[in-house]
Amino acid sequence: MNGIRSVWTLTAAVLLLAAAPAGARIKLTALPERDRVEIQLDNGQFTLVEEERIIPLLKSTLQTGNNKIDFSWSNTQINKDSIQFRPIAIMDDGKARPIAVVKGQPEVAVINVSYPPNENALVWEVYAASGYAVKVRVSYLISNLTRLFQYKALTNRAETELDLTKYIQLRNYSGEDFGNVGVWMSFADRLLDPRSVGQQEDIKMQLYHFAKVPIVKTYTFDWYRFGALDKDRPFCSKVLMHYELTNDKANALGLVPLEPGKVRIYIQDSRGGEAFLGEDWGALTPIGSKMRLFVGQAKDIVCQRSVEMKEFRGIRGDLFNLEVRIRYEIENFKPAPARLDMIEQLNALADEFATPSARHGEVEWQQDGGTSQEIRFSREYGGSNPVLHVDLPARPKADEKDDAGKPKEVKKTVVKFAFTIKNLWK
């Protein structure tokens, strides 16, 4: 390899001189440049490199012995135990043909490999039935030749769909320069166009572009994560906004898993340009799963949460149940209807109203009859963290009047969640 910071040699050697010391490595012919190089980026820590060269081999005889292939390197991050050498074809009049088996013996075969002490090197002993030009493949794992994923999301002004572009950034700090290489990713099932990968270079490449991906804008309230909004509104907390997209074919995705990576989010502006909304870290999203992208704090949805009732009900001895009813007052100042998702962390609630030692592990709970019928439930964050979904009407239009002829005010949505946490210990 033609490294700037490293010195790699891959040479063919034959023990020709009977007077040479036993085990001597006589390098006779520097190999030609690599015919093909591919790097496979499946692993975030180690990268698989495969290279092919055509090397001249001499016929193995009792007098001259077998061919010695010397592979050495310095200042590069190669995993020594991962290096493999495979003869794959014989070149005949410029065309590759398979290596034949003659009388039970392959025409070309690796006999053994040795590791010279205190060197970044190894030597393969290779048998050749005759003099050949042989295509060989050398593969190894190398570190500090890594990749990371990035995304650009451009949403339309209505925030109903977005264009998602997926990039891979190749970072080469391995100590080695590569010429034109093919970049292979089995997780993406594709080989990128060959390109030069130099030492200490960062190369950004587009993998996929997905157009018109449907999104749902969600609003989330999580009291035990954020607490009181401020001293003037002690029962209110933040309402966070997310774009939610589903990685399946019905939603213009579903081709590959979406690897974790930074997502830069833009929205189309009124002049046909793009306005930057922010960035988030997209989690690994397998096919069929959902990715949620944070896009800020909502100022036009207000949720006030209060504990309307809590009572301890003794069962026997030191065992008791905790009955709770929570009241939510929600106002939507947006000109369109919205859905608010309220997360209740029942483990944290039990620790707030009972001593932390009162429970052992996840709480056991049941929904009670005082729960509002408007609430829909899901368990996407686990059984002890129910999510309450509530639909909110749009704010009244500016010209809407009440029966007294006054402008209509925003309607306050009031719902209640009643439940019992069971089997707590005093």
The answer to whether residues 214 and 207 touch, using CB atoms and an 8 Å cutoff, is: no
Instruction: State which of 143, 162, 179 marks the end of a domain.
Output: 143
Would the pLDDT of 413 be above 80? yes
Q: In this model, does residue 116 exceed pLDDT 60?
A: yes
**For residue range 264-301, what is the model confidence (pLDDT) as tens digits?**
999 999 888 999 999 999 999 999 999 999 999 999 99
Which of the pair, 181 or 271, is modelled with greater confidence?
271
Question: Band of the pLDDT at 417, cuts 50, 70, 90?
Answer: very high
Instruction: Report the distance separating Cα 261 and Cα 265, nearest Å.
Output: 13
Q: Kindly tell me if the per-residue pLDDT of 17 is higher than 50.
A: no
Reported confidence tier of residue 27, pLDDT bands at 50, 70, 90: very low
List the one residue out of 424, 311, 313 whose CA is nearest residue 359: 424
Tell me which of 401 and 10 has the higher pLDDT. Answer: 401
Give pLDDT, residue 194: 65
Query: How far from 245 is each of 59, 155, 175, CA to CA, in Å?
Result: 62, 12, 40
Q: Which residue has the higher pLDDT, 176 or 128?
A: 128
Residue 241 resides in a domain: no
Counted domains in the chain: 2
What pLDDT is attached to residue 76?
Answer: 84
Tens digit of each residue's pLDDT (9 = 90 or more) over 342-392: 999 999 999 999 887 788 789 999 999 999 999 999 998 899 999 999 999
CA distances to 162, 214, 252, 258, 281 from 211, rounded to whole Å, are 7, 9, 7, 15, 20
Q: Decide the pairing of beta strands 301-316 and 319-332.
A: antiparallel
Q: What is the mean pLDDT of residues 210-227?
A: 96
**What would the two tokens of residue 15 be?**
């023990």
Q: What is the pLDDT of residue 282?
A: 95
* Nearest CA among 249, 225, 253, 250 for reference residue 238: 225
CB 129 within 8 A of CB 107: yes
Would you place residue 186 in the very low, low, confident or very high pLDDT band (cuts 50, 70, 90)? low
Residue 15: is its pLDDT beyond 60? no
Q: Mean of the pLDDT values across residues 47-51?
A: 90
pLDDT in the model for residue 9? 47
* Rounded distance between C-alpha atoms, residue 221 and residue 238, angstroms: 6
Provide the CB-side half-sphere exposure for 196 (13 A, CA).
Answer: 7
207 within domain boundaries: no
Mean pLDDT, the chain, rounded, equals: 87
Percent of the chain clearing pLDDT 90 (strictly above): 57
pLDDT of residue 187: 60
Burial 48-61 (b: 16+ CB within 10 A, else e): bbbbbbbbbbbebe
d(C-alpha 88, C-alpha 53), whole Å: 10
Does residue 53 lie within any of the structural domains? yes
Burial bucket for residue 78 (CB in 10 Å: 0-12, 13-18, 19+): buried
The tens digit of pLDDT for each residue in 300-310 reads: 999 999 999 99
Residue 331 has pLDDT above 50, yes or no: yes
Give the domain CATH number at 316.
Answer: 2.60.40
Looking at residue 171, its pLDDT comes to 87
Last residue of a domain, one of 92, 124, 143: 143
Residue 68 exposed, middle or buried by CB count within 10 Å (0-12, 13-18, 19+)? buried
Q: Which domain holds residue 343?
A: 301-425
Q: Let me know if residue 232 belongs to a domain.
A: no
Q: Considering the domain boundaries, does residue 200 fall inside one? A: no
User: Could you say which of 123, 143, 163 is where a domain stops?
Assistant: 143
**Percentage of residues in the chain having pLDDT higher than 70:** 90
What burial letters (b/e) apply to 161-177, b meaning 16+ CB within 10 Å?
A: bbbbbbbbebbbebbbb
Answer whether 109's CB lies under 8 Å from 127's CB. yes
